[in-house]
């Protein structure tokens, strides 16, 4: 993959779930080294978009290229591609009966045959990168929500993936922990030379660290530009979303406001 090949390229993508189009006409290019925020109300299709990047959902039509190649549909090729993706899904997915270090070691044990001593050193490096080396032997229940999220981040980084994908990384975190996680996302992106896609409905916490933002609503991309352009946008759809207003051009029927806090 040459250095100017986009890390992700979506071309006229259409994604369906349960026989219904969730997204259509999606075009997106994610340049290497950038952090792209994918914003939009609950139920707008953000997680669906990510599932196309990881190959979990095949496109109804259009093209999905990740790390310079079409996302394969065959399971063996897909496993290979996924080694290059660091995915932090909604919820931490930490195993509660394993320590922080053992959780971070899981992908290394699954995908490499490195000796234990080497794995231990790599794990401590990843925990150090998220500021939690001292918590290596703690169990998830002994960690705060923000610390547990950072352990999950360290685990997503375990195999040194060039592309990090975060789905709602701030859910359940207080404002201080949210700030810590988002500045970590930026710092890791820049120091490790990653590219990051952050899916979230937490606009105000995410925009300050993003290079580019897209807003999805009503089945498509309704805005694509810099965070500054987003804040300045006069588009009523964008304004409704930024201000969190339930009434306006975005149909909230797929996402009752009452359930959004859950
Ligand atoms: N497995 C599924 N089967 C059918 N519909 C689904 C499935 N997953 C999500 N959907 C629907 O697709 C739409 C987008 O969902 P999702 O991508 O999870 O939204 P977001 O992540 O933006 O909150 C919603 O209307 C949701 O109900
Ligand atoms: Mg989602």
Q: What is the pLDDT along the chain (262 residues), one digit of tens a residue?
A: 677 789 999 999 999 999 999 999 999 999 999 999 999 988 999 999 999 999 999 999 999 999 999 999 888 899 889 999 999 988 888 999 999 999 999 999 999 999 999 999 999 999 999 999 999 999 999 999 999 999 999 999 999 999 999 999 999 999 999 999 999 999 999 999 999 999 998 898 999 999 999 999 999 999 999 999 999 999 988 888 888 766 666 665 544 444 434 3
State the first-to-last Cα distance of the chain, in angstroms, to the nearest integer: 41
CATH of 8-84+163-260, one of 3.40.50.300, 2.30.40.10, 3.30.70.260, 3.40.50.9100: 3.40.50.300
Mark the residues whose beta carbon lies below 5 A from ion ligand 2: 46-47
Q: Ligand 1: list residues with CB < 6 Å.
A: 17-18, 22, 40, 42-48, 254
Q: Where are the domains of the chain?
A: 8-84+163-260, 96-160
Nearest CA to ligand 1 atom 18: 47
The closest ligand to the CA of 171 turns out to be 2
100: CB partners within 8 A, 6+ apart: 94, 127, 132, 135, 136, 137, 138, 139, 140, 143, 151, 154
Mutate to test the pocket of ligand 1, among 48, 170, 250, 257 (most ligand atoms within 8 A of CB): 48
Q: What is the pTM of this model?
A: 0.91
């Amino acid at each position: 993959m040459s250095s100017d090949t986009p890390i992700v390229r979506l071309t006229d993508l259409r994604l369906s779930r349960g026989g219904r189009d969730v997204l259509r006409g999606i075009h997106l290019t994610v340049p290497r080294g950038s952090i792209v925020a994918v914003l939009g109300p609950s139920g707008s299709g953000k997680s669906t978009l990510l599932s196309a990047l990881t190959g979990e959902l095949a496109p109804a039509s259009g093209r999905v290229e990740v790390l310079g190649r079409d996302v394969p549909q065959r399971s063996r090729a897909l496993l290979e591609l996924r080694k290059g993706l660091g995915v932090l899904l909604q919820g931490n997915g930490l195993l509660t009966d394993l320590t922080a270090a053992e959780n971070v070691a899981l992908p290394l044990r699954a995908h490499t045959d490195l000796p234990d001593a080497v794995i231990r050193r790599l794990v401590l490096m990843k925990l150090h990168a998220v500021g939690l080396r001292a918590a290596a032997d703690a169990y998830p229940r002994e960690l705060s929500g923000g610390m547990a999220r950072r352990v999950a981040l360290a685990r997503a980084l375990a195999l040194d993936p060039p592309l990090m994908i975060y789905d709602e990384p701030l859910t359940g975190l207080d404002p201080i922990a949210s700030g810590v996680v988002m500045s970590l996302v930026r710092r890791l992106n820049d120091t490790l030379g990653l590219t990051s896609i952050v899916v979230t409905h937490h606009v105000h916490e995410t925009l300050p660290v993003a290079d580019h933002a897209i807003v999805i609503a009503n089945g498509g991309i309704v805005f694509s530009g810099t965070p500054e352009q987003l804040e300045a946008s006069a588009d009523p759809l964008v304004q409704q979303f930024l201000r969190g207003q339930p009434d306006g051009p975005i149909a909230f029927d797929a996402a009752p406001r009452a359930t959004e806090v859950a």
